[in-house]
Amino acid sequence: MESIKSANLMIKLFIIQCLAFACIAQDFDFFYFVQQWPGSYCDTQKSCCYPSTGKPDSDFGVHGLWPNYKDGSYPSNCDPDVPFDPSKISDLRSNMQKEWPTLACPSGNGLDFWGHEWTKHGTCSESVLDQHDYFATTLNLKNQVNLLQSLENAGIHPDGGSYSLASIKSAIKQGTGFTPYIECNVDSSGNSQLYQVYMCVDNSGSNLIACPIFPRGKCGSQIQFPTF
């Protein structure tokens, strides 16, 4: 009888260990890779402040790489024991200032922005990406996904004009192979404008994939693409 109890206990412990390992090995389903158009960030009632390093290029900038679940929920602030450490990304710093600029006020050097992204989202990807890899992987994705080129190849330019939402999605799908989710905001006059573009990435952070689920919200059929 004791041997049966011991065997049952060993089985239970084995199952718990397996479940724990599964949680560590894969604790989210995919990433949203999110880029934002600086002209739309700035062209609001709130406005913006250029980074202390100067005005960013007229190009989409990284917002973040966000672990998500297929049911639409997402983990956040997963590991308070691993705070953001700027020294771990010193080799990436100049590239991040170019590709991942902050536009928040007051003007800053990006560290607060990147620290927020690591704390809220990056710590939830530690099963596959350490702090340096999290930022390096995101920059690699930025190099792979040239949204502005895809749009301009289709005759869609940041000239303040209005374009159909369908044509914007089609242009990005043509350029990347995958349908994006488009997030809009409104300018100071209340007009809908192209703000953020979401692409989906597998849970290794390596490959674009078809989005299992899109965020909630929608744009109008015609949206502006403001200058910057």
Which one is catalytic: 116, 121, 126, 152? 121
Active-site annotation holds for 157: no
Which one is catalytic: 2, 99, 117, 183? 117
Which one is catalytic: 2, 63, 126, 183? 63
CA–CA dist 128, 209 (Å, integer): 17
CA–CA dist 136, 172 (Å, integer): 23
Active-site annotation holds for 63: yes
Helix axes 111-120, 131-144, angle to 10 degrees: 100
Active-site annotation holds for 99: no
Beta-carbon contacts of residue 65 (< 8 Å; ≥ 6 apart): 31, 32, 33, 34, 117, 121, 122, 125, 134, 137, 138, 141, 201, 205
Q: Which helix (H) or strand (E) holds 196?
A: strand 192-202
- What are the catalytic residues? 63, 117, 121
